[in-house]
Chains A and B, each alone.
Chain A
Amino acid sequence: MNQILLIEPDYVLAKIYKQALEADGLAKVTVVSGAQAAIMAADEHKPDMVIMELQLIEHSGVEFLYEFRSYTEWQGVPILIQTIVPFGEFQDNWHLLQDELGVRSYLYKPHTSLRQLLSSVREHSLVST
């Protein structure tokens, strides 16, 4: 089964996303709320995919991305950004996130239903389900 690392700072939303992803049988989900915990969790659980919020406490999601991609074993792991930050606020840097940090997809959290999230995970998953 695939391992998904979910970086979601809101406790309530994290529980919902974890339930939805696991109920669908897509993956086993490890939830963390911040960037430092995410690096440690990645080391422990070897995720096949990362779904992450950009707006985190202390270290931003972008800081996590730089750290995460600096390890060779994680350079091919698909990353989906699912965030509360509207695209317009960082579209100037989108090419950086895509080209240099290998972000596969951007999902605006308020407009992304659970079905859309599951569909996006399937689309970018390395292992077909």
Chain B
Amino acid sequence: MATDGYEAPILSQQLLLGVAEELKLPLLQIARHTELAQLNGNTDLGNVRTAAQMALQLLDNYVLGVRLALEPQHFPLEAVSVSSVLYDTSQQLDTFAKSYNVDLELSIAGKYGPVLANRQGLQAALVSVGAALIEAIPALEGPRQLKLQLATHRSRYGVIAGVYADTKQLSNEALQRGRRLQGRSRQPLLNLSQSNGAGIFVADAILQAMDLHLIASRHHHLHGLGTVLQSNYQLQLV
């Protein structure tokens, strides 16, 4: 077991507390949706299903993060197509984004070849960040468009996969401050999220468990959060 003497951040009580707090929102939405349906006789339960699925998603991602930290041997690195992961991430977030009136876009042009990562972990981290930003974007005062872009591009450090929006609130400083305040403030990401930002910290923990890092980055004129992945050169030679 790789945990001897090592207290992985994923296991922190602060993160667990954050996830518990964050789950109040979808549960609250479900409770009020059903009550409203009873009041006005609306039988469309699509919104209830979406909220429930995102609550389950948050739990799944948290559990995956814990398992990644505890049993890394069960989550081997593999050759992963970033474009494919981003596409699947967009599919997973699509209904949720619609419920928040946020347009999801994919920017996966360019051939970067496979990267070395654990596909399940990478996708869970991107879904987690994406869901957190989808919730936050409509509440931000700055953005002109309610749009979230899942994008990849090459930097001098490697291939970056990330989630980007038309807001300057996504910076490394905000992320660092948020990490310091996590568990000590109701809103560690004060300028970015009205909640405690658990989705972002869950993604942070999942990436850390895979020896990756959540960073602020830019894609064209958009600001976002993503991770730097190393190309799998060995496979490219084949």
Taking Cβ atoms with an 8 Å cutoff, the residues of A that contact B are 9-13, 16-17, 19-20, 23, 33-34, 36-37, 53, 55-58, 84-85, 89, 109-110, 113-115
| Interface residue? B190 (CB, 8 A) | yes
Q: Is the CB of A13 within 8 A of B32?
A: yes
CB-nearest residue of chain B to A11: B138
Q: Is the CB of B39 within 8 A of A114?
A: yes
Q: How far is the CA of A110 from the CA of B35 in the complex (A)?
A: 13
Identify whether the interface residues of B are mostly helix, strand, loop, or mixed: helix
Identify whether the interface residues of A are mostly helix, strand, loop, or mixed: helix
**Known contacts being A19-B36, A23-B39, A57-B136, is A13 close to B28, with CB within 8 Å?**
yes
Q: How far is the CA of A10 from the CA of B27 in the complex (A)?
A: 13
Q: How large is the interface on B (under 10, 10 to 19, 20 to 34, 35 or more residues)?
A: 20 to 34
| Interchain Cβ contacts under 8 Å between A and B, 20 examples | A11-B138, A13-B29, A16-B36, A17-B32, A19-B40, A23-B40, A34-B139, A53-B194, A55-B187, A55-B194, A55-B195, A56-B139, A57-B139, A57-B140, A57-B192, A84-B24, A89-B186, A110-B27, A114-B35, A115-B35
- Give the A-B contact count at a CB cut-off of 8 A: 79
Taking Cβ atoms with an 8 Å cutoff, the residues of B that contact A are 24-25, 27-29, 31-33, 35-36, 39-40, 47, 51, 99-101, 135-136, 138-141, 186-187, 190-195
